[in-house]
A and B are shown apart, each in its own frame.
Chain A
Amino acid sequence: MKKLLAGLLFAVAVHAIAAPSCTQFVPNGQFPLLINQKMAPKTRILCYSDFALLHSGITHGPLWSAEHLTREHLGDAKEQIRTNKFYEEPDLPSGEGATLADYKRSGFDRGHMSPAGDRWNEEAMAESFTLANIVPQDRDNNQHLWARIESAVRRIAVKNGEVYVVTGPLFVGSRLRTIGPTRVFVPTQLFKVVYVPSMRTAFALVVDNTATNRYEVRTIHELEAMSGMRFPGIPESLKDQRIGGLKGV
Chain B
Amino acid sequence: MSDFNAYANDEDVLNIEGDALTVSNGTMRVVISGTLEIARDKRGLKAALALRNALDGIVAALRKQGDLPERLEDEPPAASGTVDNPFA
Q: Are B77 and A106 in contact (CB under 8 A)?
A: yes
Q: Does A214 contact B (CB under 8 A)?
A: no
Chain B 50-61 interface 0/1 with A at a Cβ cutoff of 8 Å (1 = within): 100000000000
Determine how close the nearest CB of chain A comes to the CB of B4; give it in whole angstroms: 5
Given known A82-B15, A183-B81, A228-B87, contact A100–B10 (CB-CB < 8 A): yes
Q: Are A83 and B2 in contact (CB under 8 A)?
A: yes
Q: Are A85 and B12 in contact (CB under 8 A)?
A: yes
Determine how close the nearest CB of chain B comes to the CB of A190; give it in whole angstroms: 15
Tell me the complex Cα distance, A177–B79, Å. 11
Chain A interface, number of residues (Cβ within 8 angstroms): 44
Q: Are A183 and B77 in contact (CB under 8 A)?
A: no
Contacts of B22 in A (CB 8 A): 116
- Among residues 56 to 107 in chain A, which have CB atoms less than 8 Å away from a CB atom of chain B? 58, 77-87, 100, 104-107
Q: Are B83 and A185 in contact (CB under 8 A)?
A: yes
Q: Does A197 contact B (CB under 8 A)?
A: no
Q: Are B15 and A174 in contact (CB under 8 A)?
A: no
Contacts of A179 in B (CB 8 A): 78, 80-81
Q: Are B47 and A81 in contact (CB under 8 A)?
A: yes
Q: Are B86 and A105 in contact (CB under 8 A)?
A: no
Q: Does A39 contact B (CB under 8 A)?
A: yes
Closest chain B residue to A41, Cβ basis: B86
Q: Are A116 and B15 in contact (CB under 8 A)?
A: yes
Tell me the complex Cα distance, A173–B3, Å. 43
Contacts of B50 in A (CB 8 A): 81
Determine how close the nearest CB of chain B comes to the CB of A82; give it in whole angstroms: 6
Determine how close the nearest CB of chain A comes to the CB of B3; give it in whole angstroms: 5
Contacts of B20 in A (CB 8 A): 78, 117
Q: Are B11 and A85 in contact (CB under 8 A)?
A: yes
Tell me the complex Cα distance, A125–B14, Å. 11
Q: Does A233 contact B (CB under 8 A)?
A: no
Contacts of B76 in A (CB 8 A): 105
Q: Does B30 contact A (CB under 8 A)?
A: no
Q: Are A177 and B80 in contact (CB under 8 A)?
A: yes
Q: Does A178 contact B (CB under 8 A)?
A: yes
Q: Does B66 contact A (CB under 8 A)?
A: no
Determine how close the nearest CB of chain A comes to the CB of B31; give it in whole angstroms: 9
Contacts of A173 in B (CB 8 A): 85, 88
Q: Does A176 contact B (CB under 8 A)?
A: yes
Contacts of A117 in B (CB 8 A): 15, 18-20
Contact for B81 among A78, A129, A178, CB less than 8 A: A178
Contact for B1 among A77, A81, A129, A150, CB less than 8 A: A81
Interface residues, chain B, with chain A CB atoms under 8 Å away: 1-4, 10-20, 22, 33-34, 43, 46-47, 50, 75-78, 80-88
Interface residues, chain A, with chain B CB atoms under 8 Å away: 36, 38-39, 58, 77-87, 100, 104-107, 115-119, 125, 129, 143, 147, 150, 171-180, 183, 185-186, 228
